[in-house]
Structure 1
């Protein structure tokens, strides 16, 4: 049988059989193991991708937890800071009040002491004035002087007593 384009003879059949045998062997020993290798590699890649995806999700969850914990810590820190500020403010106020009370009591005590000393000084002054008056009166009585002499004598005595004090 011969045709315009195809010429079949024994060699052609042998070549055709060799071709199919080669195809069978290539498919069986090369193509299928290669496809199996590709499938195996695809499964490994998919497995690695899934692991990476799971790790990414887990990392995101951990990140969210860490952010939440950080937010809670910041809130606690802010609360503690505000409480500490409030305690310091209360302490300052109580200390200020205590110091003011102390100063006030010291001032009152000092005023009382000043008033007592003033009373003592006035008493002492009165006593001295009375003593001087009595002394002057007795000297005037002892001396029999005229008005001019009495005045000079009084002035002399007053300046003498005034100079000592």
Structure 2
């Protein structure tokens, strides 16, 4: 049978292996795990910060869209008021032009009437004068003032009844 000899090398190798494990655990494993833990925490904080930034960006986008919508509504309102104002102003200008045109027309008609009356009066005076001269030559007699006035009034009345 073979006897088991105690081999010191095997014991030394086992002791060295255990010391190596303890040293690796103290000097390598814990710092490595600490680095991994810090890295995990950094990644988690980055993810949470990114999510927070995403929420803020979403809120900002919603706020900007609301502002844009409000601005568009205000612009449409301003355009509607400007259009209404322009239409009102155009209507006022048209009304003023119509009023002025009617005033000018009435003034022109009044002026025409005055000129017509003036022309008729001048024509009556001239006709009366010519009638008297013609009547005087025809009759070749001297007409007194009363006869002359009666003749002129009669002639003017007859001339006034004629269409002009």
TM bracket (short chain): 0.7 to 0.9
- For the aligned residue pairs, the C-alpha RMSD in angstroms reads 1.9
Please list every run of 5 or more consecutive structure 2 residues that lacks an aligned counterpart in the other structure.
142-164
Aligned to 2:53: 55
Aligned to 2:20: 22
Aligned to 1:148: none
Aligned to 1:129: 127
SS of the residue corresponding to residue 24 of structure 2 reads helix
Distance in 1 between residues matched to 2:117 and 2:140, nearest whole Å: 34
Q: Quote the offset at 1:141 in angstroms.
A: 2.6
Aligned to 2:158: none
Distance in 2 between residues matched to 1:8 and 1:62, nearest whole Å: 78
Q: Quote the offset at 1:20 in angstroms.
A: 1.4
Bigger relative contact order (CA 8 A; separation at least 6): 2
Moved over 2 A (4+): 140-143
Aligned to 2:91: 93
Alignment length (residue pairs): 139
Distance in 1 between residues matched to 2:7 and 2:75, nearest whole Å: 96
* Structure 2 counterparts to residues 103-114 of structure 1, below 5 A: 103-114=101-112
**TM-score normalised by structure 2 residue count:** 0.79
Q: Quote the offset at 1:8 in angstroms.
A: 6.8
Distance in 1 between residues matched to 2:11 and 2:43, nearest whole Å: 45
Q: Quote the offset at 1:140 in angstroms.
A: 2.5
1:65 corresponds to which of 40, 49, 63: 63
Q: Quote the offset at 1:142 in angstroms.
A: 2.7
